[in-house]
């Protein structure tokens, strides 16, 4: 391509080789596939399991609490919650102020979580083996650092 400057070509080559965001996305996709494959027999995705875990852990949770805890945008959460309602895993309750609804795991959702936990544990072990313990420890440190920073965006 005649109109490409040598600088643009070098920049593209450098970015392609060094971009942290691309590397993290590749890792995220590979790890998500691993968990999703393990959870598929239960009709769950890793995203749905994380929501079910967060709601179960909190007992009752407002949508924005789950978004903040899992760094999800509202539309992503709403889409998964709608599917999880339809499957009977979550229920919504009126909040104290009448405006915000609260999410709660149903008995069916809690049983599902219990049944799916061994598959999650297997995927967790595979992920740890794939990444290696030093990388897993680095991820934990990075998440801790990010969460400790005061930012306007949820993490």
Nearest 5°: the CA angle 146, 152, 155 is 35
DSSP conformation letters of 56-99:
HHHSSEEHHHHHHHHT--HHHHHHHHHHHHHTTSEEEEE-TTSS
Q: Give Cα 148 to chain centroid, integer Å.
A: 18
pLDDT tens column, 93-148: 887 766 668 999 999 999 999 999 999 999 999 999 999 999 999 999 999 998 88
> What fold, for 6-148?
Arc Repressor Mutant, subunit A (1.10.10)
What residues does each domain of the chain span?
6-148
pLDDT tens column, 21-66: 999 999 999 999 999 999 999 999 999 999 999 999 999 999 999 9
> Taking the model in full, what pTM does it have?
0.84
| Residues in contact with 31: Cβ distance below 8 Å, sequence separation at least 6, in sequence order | 127, 130, 131
Give the end-to-end CA distance of the chain in Å, rounded to a whole number: 41
pLDDT at 149 over 90: no
* Number of C-beta neighbours around residue 39 at 10 A: 19
């Amino acid at each position: 391509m005649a109109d490409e400057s040598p600088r643009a070509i070098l920049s593209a080559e450098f970015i392609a080789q060094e971009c942290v965001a691309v590397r993290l996305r590749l890792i995220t996709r590979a790890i998500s596939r691993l968990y999703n494959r393990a959870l598929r027999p239960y009709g769950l995705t890793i995203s749905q399991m994380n929501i079910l875990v967060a709601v179960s852990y909190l007992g009752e949770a407002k949508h924005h609490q789950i978004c903040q805890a899992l760094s999800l945008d509202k539309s992503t959460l709403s889409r998964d919650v709608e599917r999880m309602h339809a499957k009977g895993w979550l229920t919504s309750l009126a909040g104290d102020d009448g405006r915000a609804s609260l999410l709660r795991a149903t008995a069916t959702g809690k049983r599902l979580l219990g049944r799916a936990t061994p598959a999650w544990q297997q995927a967790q072990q595979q992920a740890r083996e794939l990444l290696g313990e030093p990388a897993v420890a680095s991820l934990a440190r990075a998440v801790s650092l990010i969460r400790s920073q005061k930012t306007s965006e949820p993490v």
